[in-house]
A and B are shown apart, each in its own frame.
Chain A
Amino acid sequence: MSKFAYYPGCTLEQLAQEYDESARLVGKFLGLEFTELPDWSCCGATPSHHKNYLLSLALAARNLILTEEQGLDLVAPCPACSNRFKTAHHDLISDFDLLKKLRQKFDLNYRGEIGIFSLLEVISNLPFDLIREKIVRPLDRLRVVPYYGCFLVRPPEVTQFDDPENPTSLDNLMELIGAQVVPSEYKTECCGGVLGITNNQVISKLSGDILETAQKAGAQAIVVACPLCHQNLDLKQDVARSGRNLKPMPVFYFTQLMGLAFGINPKDLGIPKHTVNPMRLTNSLIGVRS
């Protein structure tokens, strides 16, 4: 299945534009057809299910129904969105009463017939040979820590993807593009998530721990698959590093690193947009003198 309805969500239009750019480019390279879901609306993310359970289902279901009408499966690069969609789908198809309520209160008729994937899931499920043949410059001088965050692999009965305690899909992708994966005990530890937006103490402790252990293990960079993780680890890296003796460490989206390996220009992948300057490391990877 190589045709997908593509759900950018709010972050990919704003804070995580480089994730969107690199995702679409890499998708094209790999023969995946991403068509942006017409008339998509907010997925509900974390605030919605705190306020009103049924509303949170409705917000997600609206997009799922639009996808159903397209006759496609849904891919959402942002794990918060993909997790929300998977949760709504899981809850709805296991409770007919909920489906009925959704129909009665919101006039939303969900049949539950689509597949819902995170972007990491779609790409890591491709045959490796397909990816391998696109590689023109393996990133064999890169020591990287793959960081998954929490939404991609938990809760396992909802996400149904990889191992909830020790996932390896991103590790495998990185090894495939030639990088040296630095193992980390913190690969699924929380980065601070949405709390990081307002609470620096949280970032300082949680994201700081992730950076520190990565650096101590000898990594040059961290690779993520989530805009919120990227924000906490990159945009707010000065907060994360505060009080610790750490060097600045670039944080990449996995699609950007894959794009580099495919020979795509760093500018087209949005790499210069990062807060912590990644250009020195990037140039060394692509063999350009800084």
Chain B
Amino acid sequence: MRIGLFVCHCGNNIASTVDVKKVVQAGLKLPYVVFATDVDYVCSAPSQKNIEEAIQEKNLNRVVIAACSPHVHEETFRRVLKRAGLNPYLLQVANIREQCSWIHDNVIFATIKAIDLVKMAVAKVSHHEPLVAPKVGVEKRALVIGGGIAGIQAALDIAEGNIPVTLVEREPTIGGAMAKLDKAFPTLDCAACILTPKMAEVNQHENIELMVYSEIEDVKGYVGNFEVKIRKKASYVDYEKCVGCGICEQKCPSKASSKFNLGRGDGKAIYISFPQAVPKVATISPKHCIYFQRQKCRVCEKLCPADAVDFKMQDEIVTERFGAIVTATGYSLFDYSQYGEYGGGRYPDVMSGLQYERFLSPTGPSKGEIKRPSDGKKPETIVFVACVGSRDEAKGRPYCSAVCCMYTAKQAILTKEHLPESQIYVFYIDIRATGKLYEEFVRRAQEEYGVQYVRGRVSKIYTDNGKLKVRGADTLLGEPVEVDADLVVLATGFGASKGASTLAKKLGISHDSYGFFTESHPKLKPVETNTRGVFLAGACQSPKDIPATVAQASGVASKVLGALSKDQIETSPLVAAVDARRCIGCFQCLGVCPYKAIEEVALNNGAKIAEIIPTLCQGCGLCVATCNPGVISLNGFTDNQLISEVEAIVKG
């Protein structure tokens, strides 16, 4: 055992608080340490070279580097060992910067602590064994979950890189939330007009396989080798035969509320989501269908010219293999009925921003004519309320949803264009208009269109004699304010998409307390997750507007193409292994493994023991702590290694 110790000054960062020379001296007194020196900047190219030389000249077979956090440079130092011909896992980093010199003032105590940290690292590394990273093959296919603008853009960009893509969408059409918009800010282009060419391209691209009305059932495997079960839900209409003529929807006698119009407006049990749906096919919703509920009707089946209706259809599960997965599952909107002070959802003339958008849209429930849902009259005074379910600690949504200031201004402008005589108020807290031409857009609403912006929150919305009363504050004037309104639009905030946390569990990725998926690093790795091979794009990560979503989607495509460009990749060797000789086959470990990485294997004599699949194992160590006989060990964090660190501190 020949351990080499390198203690970094990091310029002044470490050296001004930790007596680096003392640490070196103390290090030389430790068992097995045959070489110790201090270095100005260990991570610099010349210093790295010096370490390589020291390893070779002094015949070192273990290395301890006392410097910054291993999260910063552990990989760098591993490569140094590799270049010097030493197994890269015979390294231990002692964090004497972030967790020592930077948090202490007292030089004496900080140095004592740094020496302790070095003792721990030396003790631990003396128990390290060489480890070899397993190499695995790569399935050069990508899966994109979610067919909104993020998923569409990602799929197109990956497909252009000559990688086959499967795009899975749980609705009967792609397009996502953007397809529900009338116009998009700040350009006020028709959202459907800019989206539909991309949707058509996805449908026609030779490298894209589109699976609509399908959901992810189960995910197994690891980067390069994911095995995914996809459930193709029964739509009771054969999508191959359906030509989208719409006769079935016209003649269907049932009544339902339109899902695409978010519950505002009528629909039918058999429906085509919207006129530009891709694919343009009909789908039956069994809970509204008269045949499924009462065994009568079947008019659609009789009238269909393509004979596409099939009431006997069943869900179908298909299994596919992919090398990389992109989740682009979008968002859901805050349920405004949680605001009891705004009527708790009881007032028909109070609605969410997206519901109002449907009223503005020519494909919506009132064909683009703005009418009060309660009595069908044209509204004269319309009030927009910003930050409903955003920036609100009391409702558990302290964050800003990024787009509402802009979409409120947009809707105010569009309302003025529909109803030039109307009076429009916007109650706001701040205006977030950070994108290109965004600030100018909001100004237009105020100056060109005469929309009244009132800075203050709305405390209560109630009714009096059929009119909606909006009570709030004008903080710039310092007065309470009450507006009689005909229609109120609540700018509801973004939340995680329904089912996001279930999908996250299937993919093995984490999410924050709001359900938004967690990126690997918020600044430097915004499209990767901590699960290798699973990437993310769009609002499923955090609220964002369309330009940011498209940019992120293209970014994720480049990462996916990079990951799938290799024929082989290395997985981490810091995984657990069962000592087969001592396993008693209780399978407690199997029950706790979050990655389903443990399986039962039969021995020659028929007895069953546990075996860990190294490429699936993520090295969490839960099985190790669970195993009662203690026969599982985790490379890099064995019981001996961890206890040696404890003893190094307390025994000295």
Whether the complex brings A and B within 8 Å at their CB atoms is answered: yes
Interface residues, chain A, with chain B CB atoms under 8 Å away = 163-166, 185, 213
Q: Is the CB of B464 within 8 A of A165?
A: no
Contact check, B464 vs A166: say whether CB atoms are below 8 A apart.
no
* Size band of the interface chain B makes with A: under 10
CB of B568 within 8 Å of the partner chain: no
Inter-subunit contact A185/B340 (CB<8 Å): no
Indicate if the CB atoms of B344 and A185 lie closer than 8 Å.
no
The verdict on B449 contacting chain A, using a C-beta distance below 8 Å, is no
12 CB-based A-B contacts, threshold 8 Å:
A163-B340, A164-B340, A165-B340, A165-B341, A165-B344, A166-B340, A166-B344, A166-B346, A185-B462, A185-B463, A185-B464, A213-B464
Residues of chain A lying within 8 A (CB to CB) of residue B464: 185, 213
- In this complex, what residue of A is CB-closest to B344? A166
Name which of B340, B341, B344 has the most chain A CB atoms within 10 A of its CB: B340
Please give the distance in Å from B252's CB to the nearest CB on chain A: 37
A163 and B343 alpha carbons, distance in the complex (Å): 12
A164 to B395 Cα, complex, angstroms: 14
Residues from chain A with a CB closer than 8 A to the CB of B462 are: 185
What residues of B have a CB within 8 angstroms of the CB of A164 in the complex?
340
Complex alpha-carbon distance, A213 and B346, angstroms: 19
State the CA gap A185–B464 with chains docked (Å): 8
| B341: A residues at CB distance < 8 A | 165
The chain B residue with its CB closest to the CB of A165 is B340
Q: How distant is the Cα of A170 from the Cα of B463 in the complex, in angstroms? A: 21
Interchain CA distance A166-B340 in the complex, whole Å: 7
Residues of chain A within 8 A of B340, CB atoms compared: 163-166
Q: Is the interface of A mostly helix, strand, loop or mixed?
A: loop
Q: How distant is A202 from chain B, measured CB to nearest CB, in Å?
A: 15
Interchain nearest-CB distance for B471 vs A (Å): 10
Chain B residue at smallest Cβ distance from A167: B340
* Closest chain A residue, CB of each to CB of B461: A185
Distance in angstroms between the alpha carbons of A164 and B463 in the assembled complex: 18
Nearest Cβ in chain A — how far from B442, in angstroms? Answer: 31
Chain B positions within 8 Å of A166 at CB level: 340, 344, 346
Whole-angstrom distance between the alpha carbons of A164 and B459 in the complex? 13
The 4 closest A-B pairs by CB, nearest first: A165-B340, A185-B462, A165-B341, A166-B340
- Of all chain A residues, the one with the shortest Cβ separation from B463 is A185
Which residues of B are at the interface with A, using a C-beta cutoff of 8 A?
340-341, 344, 346, 462-464
With the chains together, A164 CA to B344 CA distance in Å?
Answer: 11
Q: How far is the CB of A108 from chain B (nearest CB, A)?
A: 32
Cα–Cα, bound, A163→B463 (Å): 18
A282 to B40, CA, bound (A): 94
CA distance A165 to B342 in the complex (A): 9
B339, closest chain A residue (CB) = A165
Bound-state CA distance A166–B341 (Å) is: 8
**Nearest CB of chain A from residue B576's CB, rounded to whole Å:** 42
On chain A, the residues within 8 Å of B463 by CB distance are 185
Chain A residues near B344: list those with CB within 8 A: 165-166
* Complex Cα gap A213–B341 (Å): 18
A163 to B341, CA, bound (A): 11
A165 neighbours in B (Cβ, 8 Å) = 340-341, 344
Q: Nearest B residue to A164 by beta-carbon distance?
A: B340
Specify which chain B residues have a CB less than 8 angstroms from the CB of A185 in the assembled complex.
462-464
CA distance A165 to B463 in the complex (A): 14
B468 CB → nearest A CB, Å: 11
- Nearest neighbor of A216 in chain B, beta-carbon distance: B465
Instruction: State A166–B462 Cα separation when bound (angstroms).
Output: 11
Distance in angstroms between the alpha carbons of A165 and B347 in the assembled complex = 14
Q: A179 vs B167: C-alpha distance in the bound complex, in angstroms?
A: 59
- The smallest C-beta distance from B345 to any residue of chain A, in angstroms, reads 10
Q: Taking the nearest CB of chain B, how far is it from the CB of A165, in angstroms? A: 3
Distance between A182 CB and nearest chain B CB, rounded to angstroms: 14
CB proximity of B340 to chain A, nearest CB, Å:
3
In the complex, A213→B469 CA distance in Å?
A: 14
Separation in Å of the B464 CB from the closest CB of chain A?
Answer: 7
CB distance from A168 to the nearest CB of B (A): 11
Measured between beta carbons, the chain B residues less than 8 angstroms from A213 are 464
Chain B: minimal CB distance from A145 (Å):
14
Residue of A nearest to B341 (CB): A165
Expressed in whole angstroms, the Cα–Cα distance for A117 and B464 within the complex equals 33
How far, in whole Å, are A106 and B346 apart by their CA atoms in the complex?
A: 49
Q: How close is A161's CB to chain B, nearest CB, in angstroms? A: 14
Given contacts A165-B341, A185-B463, 4 further A-B contacts (CB under 8 A): A164-B340, A166-B344, A185-B464, A213-B464
Q: Interface centre among A164, A165, A213, by most B CB within 10 Å?
A: A165
Closest residue of chain B to A185 (Cβ to Cβ) is B462
From A163, A164, A166, name the one whose CB has the most chain B CB atoms within 10 angstroms: A166
- Chain B nearest CB: distance from A150 CB in Å? 13
A110-B463 Cα distance, complex, nearest whole Å: 45
CA distance A164 to B346 in the complex (A): 15
What's the minimum C-beta distance from A88 to chain B, rounded to whole angstroms? 22
B423, chain A: closest CB distance, angstroms: 23
Q: Which residue of A lies closest to B340 (CB)?
A: A165
Q: Please measure, in the bound complex, the distance between the C-alpha atom of A163 and the C-alpha atom of B345, giving whole angstroms.
A: 14
Minimum C-beta distance from A187 to chain B (A): 10
Q: How long is the Cα–Cα vector from A167 to B463 in the complex, in angstroms?
A: 17
Bound CA span A166–B344, Å = 8
**Distance (Å) between the CB of B350 and the closest chain A CB?**
13
Complex Cα–Cα for A164 and B460 (A): 13
- Residues of B within 8 Å of A163, CB to CB, are 340
Give the complex CA separation of A165 and B459 in angstroms: 11
Taking CB as reference atom, which chain A residue is nearest B464? A185
Count chain B CB atoms within 10 A of each CB in A163, A164, A185 and give the residue with the most.
A185
Query: What's the least CB distance linking A274 to chain B, in Å?
Result: 28
Give A195 to B231 CA distance when docked, in angstroms.
64
Q: Smallest Cβ distance from B298 to chain A, in angstroms?
A: 44
B344 CB to closest chain A CB (Å) equals 6
B116 to chain A, nearest CB (A): 34
Closest to A209 in B: B464
CB distance from B472 to the nearest CB of A (A): 16
Minimum CB–CB distance from A45 to chain B (whole Å) comes to 25
- Chain B: CB-nearest residue to A213: B464
CA distance A185 to B463 in the complex (A): 7
Most chain A beta-carbon neighbours within 10 Å: one of B346, B463, B464: B464
Give the CA-CA distance A164 to B464 in the complex, in Å: 20
Task: Please report the C-alpha to C-alpha distance between residue A164 and residue B340 in the assembled complex, in whole angstroms.
Answer: 8
A192 to chain B, nearest CB (A): 17
Which chain A residues border B346 with CB–CB below 8 Å? 166
Q: A166 to chain B: closest CB distance in Å?
A: 5
A185 to B462, CA, bound (A): 6
- B457 CB to nearest A CB, Å: 15
Min Cβ gap B461→A in Å is 10
Cα of A265 to Cα of B463 in the assembled complex, Å: 39
Bound Cα distance from A165 to B343, whole angstroms = 8
Q: Closest CB-CB distance, A216 to chain B, in whole Å?
A: 8
**In the docked arrangement, what's the CA distance between A218 and B341, Å?**
24
How far is it, in angstroms, between the C-alpha of A200 and the C-alpha of B437 when the chains are bound?
A: 54
CA distance A213 to B463 in the complex (A): 11
CA distance A185 to B465 in the complex (A): 11
How far apart are the CA atoms of A216 and B464 in the complex, in Å?
10
Query: Distance in Å from the Cβ of A32 to the closest Cβ of chain B?
Result: 30
Distance (whole angstroms) from the CB of B203 to the closest CB of chain A: 47
Per the bound structure, the CA–CA distance linking A49 and B463 in Å amounts to 35
Nearest chain A residue, comparing its CB with the CB of B346: A166
Q: Which residue of B lies closest to A163 (CB)?
A: B340
A165 to B394, CA, bound (A): 14
Within the complex, the shortest CB–CB distance from B286 to chain A, in Å, comes to: 34
Please give the distance in Å from B490's CB to the nearest CB on chain A.
15
B335 to chain A, nearest CB (A): 15
How distant is the Cα of A158 from the Cα of B349 in the complex, in angstroms?
32
Give the distance in Å from the alpha carbon of A166 to the alpha carbon of B345 in the complex.
Answer: 11
Q: Roughly how many angstroms separate A213 CA and B464 CA in the complex, as a whole number?
A: 8
CA distance A165 to B341 in the complex (A): 6
Minimum Cβ distance to chain A for residue B428 (Å): 22
Give CA–CA (A165, B462) in the complex, Å.
11
In the complex, what's the smallest C-beta–C-beta distance from B392 to chain A, in angstroms? 15
Q: How many whole Å from B644's CB to the nearest CB in chain A? A: 39
